[in-house]
């Protein structure tokens, strides 16, 4: 019985992730999610409470998967930016879900998975700054913001600008890694 419940939860999360990525929280419909998962929509309410709580479960799972697939290394922020770029390229739903989260939940209660992840990263950046590995010109929050924004730069440009970007994924990735390397260079010049 527990195995069926776990499988149903998994199918609901997968269907919800696709629905939320495509339509956001406001546009998503629990009846479509239930149909795509092959179950009754009452199961959504039984397992997750409501649509907002279902989104929170989807986004929390996304954060956990991203933490697992994109290891954070404060002593190699250019490498982290490259790995995060890869995540965005390999799974565009990651970018879409994060964008919907930012658009539809700007004042919402913070998700603990995000709070914990950010706290951990900020502590590691601060430690790397104390150890002299990362420059202190920017605060840990400024550095983390700039690294994440740079990693997602290609996925957030308008189609009109994007059509002028290199079609070569490796070139776009190199640009992200190089930009972060230069951002962190003490004298503003790229380090070798």
**Tens digit of pLDDT for each residue in 128-138?**
999 999 999 99
Under DSSP, the state recorded for 28 is -
Query: Picking from 61-75, 102-116, 119-133, 157-171, which range would have the lowest pLDDT averaged per residue?
Result: 157-171
Residues 133 and 165 in one domain: yes
Give the CA dihedral 117, 118, 120, 124, nearest 10 degrees. 140
Residues 47 and 131 in one domain: no
Helices (H) and strands (E) in the chain, counts: 11, 0
Quote the CA–CA distance of 30 and 42 in Å, as a whole number. 9
Residues 38 and 107 in one domain: no
Residues 9 and 88 in one domain: no
pLDDT of res. 187: 56
Residues 78 and 47 in one domain: no
Residues 134 and 107 in one domain: yes
Q: How many domains does the chain fold into?
A: 2
- Tens of pLDDT, residues 61-86: 999 999 999 999 999 999 999 999 99
Which residue range is the domain that position 130 belongs to? 70-192
For 63, the token pair is 């954060």
Check residues 155 and 72 and name the one with the higher pLDDT.
72
Quote the CA–CA distance of 165 and 157 in Å, as a whole number. 10
CATH number at residue 18: 1.10.10.60
């Amino acid at each position: 019985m527990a195995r069926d419940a776990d499988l149903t939860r998994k199918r609901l999360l997968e269907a919800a992730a696709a629905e939320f990525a495509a339509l956001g929280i406001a546009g998503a419909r629990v009846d479509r999610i239930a149909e795509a998962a092959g179950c009754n929509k009452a199961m959504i309410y039984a397992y997750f409470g409501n649509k907002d709580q279902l989104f929170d479960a989807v986004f929390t799972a996304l954060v956990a998967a991203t933490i697992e697939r994109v290891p954070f290394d404060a002593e190699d922020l250019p490498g982290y930016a490259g790995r995060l770029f890869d995540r965005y390229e390999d799974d565009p739903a990651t970018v879409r879900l994060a964008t919907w989260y930012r658009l539809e939940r700007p004042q919402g209660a913070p998700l603990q998975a995000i709070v914990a992840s950010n706290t951990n990263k900020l502590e590691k950046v601060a430690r790397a700054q104390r150890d002299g590995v990362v420059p202190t010109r920017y605060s840990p929050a400024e550095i983390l913001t700039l690294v994440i924004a740079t990693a997602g730069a290609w996925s957030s440009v308008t189609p009109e600008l994007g059509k002028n970007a290199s079609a070569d994924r490796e070139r776009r990735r190199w640009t992200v890694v190089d930009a972060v390397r230069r951002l962190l260079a003490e004298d503003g010049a790229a380090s070798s």
